[in-house]
Amino acid sequence: MCLPLDDGICDPDCDIDVDPNCALDITNITNLSQTGTVIILEAKIKNFLNQTINQISWNINNGEINESSTINFTLQSQEDIFIYHQYNYSTGGNYTIVFMIENGTLMDSEELNLTIS
């Protein structure tokens, strides 16, 4: 069975035909910058399949709002893409950010905990 590695990154040697969970993967979500209540996040998405994945959409819940992509994208085999999200929180606190991608068949989600001061 194909399982993500301990760091949350999928094993590119797994058998996708047996377990498609690693086919479309958020390999990394990072807080690139934080100034006061303003953050900039970066999410890296990768297609581990040996074929194109079409109609990929994203959704982010940053603890205050929920935003979704307005234009879907396509990833070629082994291609990756970066998605950036900037937000100004209304108040400090602890927030759990949930980032999700899907194309109707495949999906992945990752969480990131942030403290905004």
- Superfamily grouping for domain 20-116: Immunoglobulins (2.60.40.10)
Per-residue pLDDT of the chain (117 residues; tens, 9 = 90+): 334 444 444 555 555 454 455 789 998 999 999 999 999 999 999 999 989 999 999 999 999 999 999 999 999 999 999 999 999 999 999 999 999 999 999 999 999 999 998
Residue 54 has what pLDDT? Answer: 97
Model pTM above 0.85 = no
Q: Which two tokens stand for residue 92?
A: 């400090």
How far is the C-alpha of 44 from the C-alpha of 110, rounded, in Å?
11
Q: What is the DSSP letter of 60?
A: E
Residue 29 has what pLDDT? Answer: 95
Domain extent listing, the chain: 20-116
In terms of Cα–Cα distance, which of 31, 27, 2 is closest to 14? 2
Residue 21 has what pLDDT? Answer: 58
C-alpha distance from residue 20 to each of 28, 30, 106 (Å): 19, 24, 7
How far is the C-alpha of 1 from the C-alpha of 16, rounded, in Å?
9
Q: Which two tokens stand for residue 56?
A: 């990929």
